């Protein structure tokens, strides 16, 4: 298809735009990604026009077959996109006219590019919602495998990146399952809310033709048509919700990526990353760099940037359509690419992840991690007020620190010199395994609780 000046405008403009205007006005460089959705929407629209008697069946048949040919050319890479024709909609319509002649001109009856682009974009975003849901579920399953394998493994739990209390590996993995579960619900919820068809809103006021918007909505997999023609063309909430949910999800991925960077370091040695998701150094032969984790950690910047960008584009626009809204797509395309790649890479990393169990267990007992268990024992067994127990435990921690040992290494006499009522039973709570097994409250780190949550999520993700 030869490049041509845009004659689709009819008689209103005598001359086409100059090169600068053409460059700033054209969106075909990026919105060609919506070609399949554009053709899908046009086929539904043409079928409806024929069913309502607005165009003839023969014209609808020609349009349908012509659109399939156009789609085939695009998918095979033989279609020549024209910047002069501005966008995917006019590129498709122009090529359709080359193929079938006069019937192509009837396709745009009772439709505007305003509701057309809103429909195309919504269909594209809906597809990405589905892809995100699938990717999140796959990653959750990878975390569940890790959690089930390590439901009994002990490791340090952190606050302020300082050792706080012992937890289980499974419990830590399940924390990310819970986070991703919320991400999953956000995408699913947003998908339900967005699933209304803008097609038929026309330029902004609807149309005088006797169209059947419910027919086109059903054909395109929407639950219903949108209820206000102004909102139909002005709305980009669906894209903003996709970006917002993507930003939160990417933030969760970034947090675990940061943990992987820390845990795989020589100073921690908590985990070993597979060679598939690591790289070497060009000068230091001993290095194994967690590049995939670092790149996932950085993706939140692009995705959150896209979110802020689209909010900024939309915030000052009066109803209904303004050309500003052409700037809605590139950010969403880029954010979607970043999220899908991050989800896939993280799934691979989690699936390949090897925990260094002895190192985790040794670290779990460091930093007086069972001090809270000691304080709880004093409250429970000696009926000591918690604030007093906190003070006694702090004194015992200081004593152990001065002796260069951990709390379980203190003698009973050492402890009784601080608080006479302490008995031999205190040592039953000071080991890290005893500590995690005692955390039986709902949602706690005890292996039984972890396994219960694994079973719950397996049922959800069936």
Which letter, b or e, does each residue of 320-333 get, where b requires 16 or more Cβ atoms within 10 Å of its Cβ?
bbeeebbebbbbbb
The dihedral through the CA atoms of 389, 395, 399, 402 has a sign that is positive
Which of 160, 208, 282, 441 does the annotation list as catalytic?
A: 160
Which conformational region is residue 449 in: left (phi greater than 0), alpha (psi within -120 to 50 degrees), or beta? alpha
Burial class (CB in 10 A: 0-12, 13-18, 19+), 101: exposed
Task: Tell me the backbone φ, ψ of residue 3, rounded to 5 degrees.
Answer: -65, 135
Tokens of 21: 């205007």
Which of 5, 265, 281, 322 does the annotation list as catalytic?
A: 281
Distance CA(336)–CA(243), nearest Å, equals 8
Which among 7, 207, 250, 245 has a CA at the least distance from the CA of 115? 207
Distance CA(30)–CA(203), nearest Å, equals 22
Q: Is 160 a catalytic residue?
A: yes
Q: Is 369 a catalytic residue?
A: no
CA 246 to chain CA mean position, Å: 4
The residues annotated as belonging to the active site are: 160, 281
């Amino acid at each position: 298809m030869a490049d041509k000046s845009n004659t689709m405008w009819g008689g209103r403009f005598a001359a086409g735009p100059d090169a600068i205007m053409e460059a700033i006005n054209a969106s075909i460089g990026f919105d060609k990604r919506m070609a399949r959705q554009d053709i899908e929407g046009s086929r539904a629209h043409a079928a409806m026009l024929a069913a309502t008697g607005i165009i003839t069946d023969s014209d609808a048949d020609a349009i349908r077959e012509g659109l399939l040919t156009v789609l085939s050319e695009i998918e095979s890479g033989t279609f020549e996109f024209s910047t002069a024709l501005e966008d995917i909609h006019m590129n498709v319509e122009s090529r359709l006219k080359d193929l079938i002649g006069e019937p192509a001109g009837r396709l745009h009856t009772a439709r505007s590019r305003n509701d057309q682009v809103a429909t195309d974009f919504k269909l594209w975003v809906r597809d990405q919602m589905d892809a995100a849901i699938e990717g999140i579920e796959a990653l959750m399953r990878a975390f569940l495998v890790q959690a089930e394998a390590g439901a009994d493994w002990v490791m340090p739990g952190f606050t302020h990146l300082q050792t706080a209390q012992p937890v289980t590996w499974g419990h830590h993995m399940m924390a990310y399952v819970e986070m991703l579960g919320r991400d999953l619900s956000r995408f699913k919820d947003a998908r339900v809310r967005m699933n209304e068809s803008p097609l038929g809103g026309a330029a902004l006021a609807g149309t005088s033709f006797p169209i059947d918007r419910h027919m086109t909505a059903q054909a395109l997999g929407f639950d219903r048509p949108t209820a206000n023609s102004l909102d139909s063309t002005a709305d980009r909430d669906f894209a903003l919700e996709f970006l917002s949910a993507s930003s939160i999800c990417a933030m969760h991925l970034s947090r675990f990526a940061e943990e992987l960077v820390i845990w795989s370091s020589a100073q921690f040695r908590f985990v070993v990353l597979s060679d598939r998701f690591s790289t070497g150094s060009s000068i230091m032969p001993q290095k194994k760099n967690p590049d995939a984790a670092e790149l996932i950690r950085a993706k939140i910047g692009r995705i959150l940037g896209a979110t802020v960008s689209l909010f900024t584009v939309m915030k000052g626009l009066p109803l209904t359509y303004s050309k500003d809204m052409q700037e809605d797509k590139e950010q969403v395309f880029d954010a979607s690419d970043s999220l899908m790649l991050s989800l896939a890479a993280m799934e691979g990393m989690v699936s390949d992840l090897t925990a260094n169990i002895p190192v985790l267990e040794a670290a779990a007992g460091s930093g007086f991690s069972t001090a809270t268990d000691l304080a709880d024992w004093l409250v429970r067994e000696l009926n000591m007020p918690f604030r007093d127990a906190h003070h006694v435990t702090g004194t015992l921690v200081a004593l152990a620190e001065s002796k260069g040992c951990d709390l379980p290494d203190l003698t009973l006499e050492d402890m009784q010199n601080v608080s006479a009522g302490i008995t031999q039973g205190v040592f039953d709570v000071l080991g890290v395994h005893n500590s995690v097994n005692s955390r039986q409250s709902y949602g706690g780190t005890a292996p039984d609780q972890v396994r219960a949550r694994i079973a719950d999520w397996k049922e959800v993700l069936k």
